[in-house]
Amino acid sequence: MAFPLQGEDTCQHLLPTPLPNPYWVGFESNLAKELGITVDASGLPQDPRWLEVLSGIALETHEHTFADPIATVYSGHQFGIWAGQLGDGRAILLGDLRGYELQLKGSGITRYSRMGDGRAVLRSSIREFLCSEAMHALGVPTSRALAVTGSKKSVLRESLETAAVCTRLAPSFIRVGHFEHFAAARSTEHLTTMADYLLTHHYPECQGTDDPYLALFAAISERTAKLVAHWQAIGFCHGVLNSDNISILGLTIDYGPFGFLDRFQMDHICNHSDGQGRYAYQRQPQIMHWNMACLAGAMLPLIETRYGSELAQEHLQKTLEEFPEIYRAAWLKHFRTKLGLLTPNPDDTSLVESLLQLMHHNRVDFTNTFRALSHFDASHDARSNPLRDQFLNRDAFDTWMQSYVARLKEEKCSHAERQSHMLATNPKFVLRNYLAQIAIEKAQNDDFSEVKRLLAVLQDPFSEQPGLEEYAAPPPAALEHIEVSCSS
């Protein structure tokens, strides 16, 4: 088992609660092949027992046996407040499969469920399935999703819905919250075991340093800073950046009330449960930095063993202060590429920020704006650019374009070379909330064709895909303000 702690105080050994009369809602055949699962002509597993395994009914297929499923304990800060003990309240880790941990989300009550029913609903399971694979196709570090299985079993949220199980995978599901839990429990032994496991299996480059634990914290913080920079560059809002939702590997995990930006608003809130806007788009870098401060506090006992308390805090603080610099450099690198700027210039930050301000004030579509800029030829009159008509303040747009064209003329690459970089960076297709909602509503009526079709579109986000332009369109007015909550 990949999870390094197996005691009674760290996890619960239990069987999933079977999903009654399950059926396939979605299945990712390409990922299945990577995992050594043989698929048939329809793209589903050739071995029918996979349906039972991924629905919590069985633990064995012809080729694989999952002998010891577990749910793990962790703690964390939720919306900035210490929540104490949490844990896998509806996710059960089946075991390892070709370098991944395979986890069933929605597979029943565990001792960490608190007041929950241990189930996930069809709606949220489809969203996580589609977005995990969409993010992977966009090149964003993420957990993966192999399948969604559904059932007619009723579960109560704001209304009566049906249950589902989402099968998700990651090299490890260890979170910041795991470290916080064992730090709160004053278990330096468990902290050490977990850190040593990460050093051996996921951060081997830190092992030969002067202080491997401090190097481990620095590496985790660096990955996290680069992750959130990537989110900002594609207009992705996570929605619930609680410390228990933060991967120790710098992956995007726990897809809940997420959303991709349509009309760009810097202060966009994608989670209607987030009344104060703690996790708004523009605050994501700050919040992830805050989560790294939580991790620093949890890892302090490990660093103290070498330096003592005061010096350990100084070293961690110094490392924490590097987060904004790493983030800013990664953010600027992403946006330079999005604008086709292949050589650095000191004025690029101002150019990017002024564009984002212009987009914010004119409420233009985030994804489509950058995609349209990818097709812009600097040798043509900028005033003839169709993108100009998307901006209410055309004078302001013209002024920015003058600066942009002047900057492009400093580049030595050809238009074709620049366009190639931009089109490979600025996606045409992202998982817009309204597209997910259309697929969900069809699936709720037992039509899973749109889940399959939308997945195929999202797996090739940078190509033009002629004939599928509807999937690149901004939401119609009636679907522009879909609200997503933590309830799933």
Annotated binding site: 87, 89-90, 105, 117-118, 168, 175, 245, 254
Known binding site for ATP: residues? Answer: 87, 89-90, 105, 117-118, 168, 175, 254
Catalytic residue flag (residue 274): no
Known binding site for Mg(2+): residues? Answer: 245, 254
CA angle 384, 463, 270 (to 5 degrees): 85
Dihedral sign of CA atoms 61, 62, 68, 74 in order:
negative
Instruction: Say how many C-beta atoms besides its own lie within 10 A of residue 278's C-beta.
Output: 17
What Cα–Cα distance (Å) separates residue 149 from each residue in 34, 329, 458? Answer: 20, 41, 20
Instruction: Indicate which residue of 244, 262, 274, 365 is catalytic.
Output: 244
Active site residues: 244
